Amino acid sequence: MERTQFYNTLVERLGRRTTRAVLGLCGFRNDALREYLRTLFDREAGTPGAFLADPVFEAGFGWQLAERTLGDLEGKLLHPDLVRALRKPWKKGLSEDYSFPARRRPYRHQLEAWQALIQGQPPRSVLVTSGTGSGKTECFLIPILNDL
């Protein structure tokens, strides 16, 4: 099966199933209303009134690592207690998924946000735009924890 045909078929199926699910959950008793909405939602993806927009494919690129490690930042940019807490979570069972070893290098956008938020005088706001999974939460959370 050609790639575009696979995606077209997938989008069509998603649209039909989603339409049926939504109409079923709404439980409309009026047959004319239900049929009107089904016809409206069943339009080809991306057309006005269709339940689904056109699919969007976006290339994902890796994020650049900072040159410094968390260990390098300990006692300089970040409080030693914070770096230790990140290295060794206090609750058992968390260390495998939630520990940040001293040798770990944050992403460059994280380090730049930390520097602006921790060292910046006077304090200022920072806007971070980056892809899903790039550590945007850590951009603001680490400075908050560092301040505690």
User: Per residue in 74-105, pLDDT tens?
Assistant: 999 999 999 999 998 777 777 677 888 999 99
- What pLDDT, on a 0 to 100 scale, did the predictor assign at position 3? 67
How many domains are contained in the chain? 2
pLDDT band at 144 (very low <50, low <70, confident <90, very high): very high
- What pLDDT, on a 0 to 100 scale, did the predictor assign at position 93? 73
Let me know whether 139 and 78 are in one domain: yes
- What pLDDT, on a 0 to 100 scale, did the predictor assign at position 136? 95
- What pLDDT, on a 0 to 100 scale, did the predictor assign at position 142? 96
* CB-CB neighbours of 43 under 10 Å: 15
- What pLDDT, on a 0 to 100 scale, did the predictor assign at position 43? 83
Let me know whether 82 and 132 are in one domain: yes
Let me know whether 90 and 42 are in one domain: no
Report the mean per-residue pLDDT for the chain.
Answer: 87
Domain assignment present for residue 52? The answer is yes
Is a pLDDT exceeding 60 seen at residue 1? no
Residue 21: closest CA among 51, 45, 53, 56:
51
Domain assignment present for residue 64? The answer is no
Is a pLDDT exceeding 60 seen at residue 18? yes
Tell me the residue range of the domain where 33 lies. 1-57
Joined tokens for residue 131:
């892809």
Q: Which residue has the higher pLDDT, 49 or 30?
A: 30
Phi, psi of 94 (to 5 degrees): -95, -20
